[in-house]
Chain A
Amino acid sequence: GDSVTQMEGPVTLSEEAFLTINCTYTATGYPSLFWYVQYPGEGLQLLLKATKADDKGSNKGFEATYRKETTSFHLEKGSVQVSDSAVYFCALTPTSGTYKYIFGTGTRLKVLA
C-alpha cells in the first residue's frame, strides 16, 4: 500500500544552520504531497504542499519540491530559527480512493540559540 518514510529524529541544529528533512514515498500514480508542522502542545498545521511532479511548495522560508523520479519531497530551509523547533510530518493523499491522509512518523527538530 501507499506509505511515507521520513528520516529519524531528533535533528539538532544551531540557529541559522541549513535544514534538510528527508521524505520519500511509495504510491501509485501521482499523489499529493504535504508537510505539516506540530509546535509543542499544539495540533498539526499545514506548512506547504505540492500536487504534481516538479511543483515546489513554499511557506515561511521552507521549501519542498515534488520529485517523481526519486519519489521524494524533502523539506529544506536555508536558515533555521529557534522558533522552528517542532515536529515535522510528511504526508500524502493517494491518487485515487478515499483520499485519506497517510502520514510519516514525524521528525523532531530542535534549534539551539
Chain B
Amino acid sequence: DAGVIQSPRHEVTEMGQEVTLRCKPISGHDYLFWYRQTMMRGLELLIYFNNNVPIDDSGMPEDRFSAKMPNASFSTLKIQPSEPRDSAVYFCASSHSVGRQETQYFGPGTRLLVL
C-alpha cells in the first residue's frame, strides 16, 4: 500500500490567498484526521471524518478553515483567506477505526508558509 498521500508537500503563498491541501487516505480506512503542527502549539487535531462524514470539527481554529471529504479516497483542507499565523505543517492521517488501541497512519505532511 502506498500509505497516506498528501499534496502539495510544500506551499508558499501570500496572505489573503486561498490554500487547498489534499489527502488520499489508505484504502479501506474509515477514519480520516487532519492535524496541524507548530512549534508553539505542537500537534493539534483539527477535524476528523468517519465514512466521509465530519464527526468532530472542534479543533478547527476559525471559519477561515474548512474541510471536506467527498468520497472515501479524497479529502481537502481549505484556508480562505490565509494568514501568516496559519504557517505550519499540516498532516493527514487515517485509521481503520477509532478504538483505544487503534494506530493512526500519517502522511508526510504539507509544509505551509504564508507570507
Contact = CB atoms under 8 A, between A and B. Distances in A.
A41 B101 CA distance: 26
B110 to A, nearest CB: 10
A34 B79 CA distance: 31
Nearest to B39: A105
Contact of B4 (A31, A34, A43, A104): A43
Contacts of A32: 100-101
Interface in B29-51: 42-43, 45, 48
B12 interface: no
Interface string A36-75: 0000011111100101000000000000000000000000
Contact of B98 (A41, A44, A46, A98): A98
Contacts of A99: 98-100, 102
User: What size tier do the contact residues of chain A reach?
Assistant: 20 to 34
B103 interface: yes
Given A51-B101, A99-B99, A99-B100, A43 B106 contact: yes
Contact of B101 (A49, A100, A103): A49
A100 B55 CA distance: 11
Interface residues of B, number: 21
Nearest to B103: A46
Given A43-B91, A43-B108, A44-B106, A101 B100 contact: no
A25 interface: no
B42 A103 contact: yes
A46 B4 CA distance: 14
B25 interface: no
Interface of A: 31-32, 34, 41-46, 49, 51, 89, 93-95, 98-101, 103-106
Given A41-B108, A93-B101, A100-B45, 20 more contacts: A42-B108, A43-B93, A44-B93, A44-B106, A46-B103, A51-B100, A95-B100, A98-B56, A99-B98, A99-B99, A99-B100, A100-B48, A100-B56, A100-B98, A101-B45, A101-B104, A103-B42, A104-B42, A105-B42, A106-B43
